[in-house]
Amino acid sequence: MFIVRNNALSVPDINECGFPNPVCFGNNIRCFNKIGTYECICTDPELVVVNNNCVRKYDAPCSKTEQVFNDNVSNWKTKKITIILMMMMMMMMMI
């Protein structure tokens, strides 16, 4: 179906998140309709979207698991830097 607006043809957006055929599945997931597409987002931060379903981060395929690993390494580096700075400050206070 085409709609004429301002002498141009346009196609109405389809709400992929609507019923009767939702595209995101499960209890901990929300669907957000966007122009020309949609996005499934897990409501539980311990879950990630895989094939429009929410799964535990550690049960996800490698690409998601690698991201979780990278996040953990990044957090560890931040903590390590904080500890080093605290130790340096303590040493300076002793002088």
- Torsion from C-alpha of 79, 83, 88, 94, nearest 10 degrees: 160
pLDDT of residue 44: 92
Return d(Cα 87, Cα 95) in angstroms, integer: 13
Residue type, 71: D
pLDDT beyond 90 at 30: yes
The pLDDT confidence band at residue 76, using thresholds 50, 70 and 90, is low
Per-residue confidence band for 29, with pLDDT thresholds at 50, 70 and 90: very high
**pLDDT band (50, 70, 90) for residue 2:** very low
Residue with tokens 């340096």: 88
Higher-pLDDT residue of 58 and 54 is 54
Per-residue pLDDT averaged across 73-77, rounded? Answer: 56
What DSSP letter does each residue of 21-68 carry, written as one string? S-SSBSSSEEEEEETTEEEEEESSTTEEEETTEEEEGGGS-HHHHHHH
Q: Which is more confidently placed, 21 or 63?
A: 21
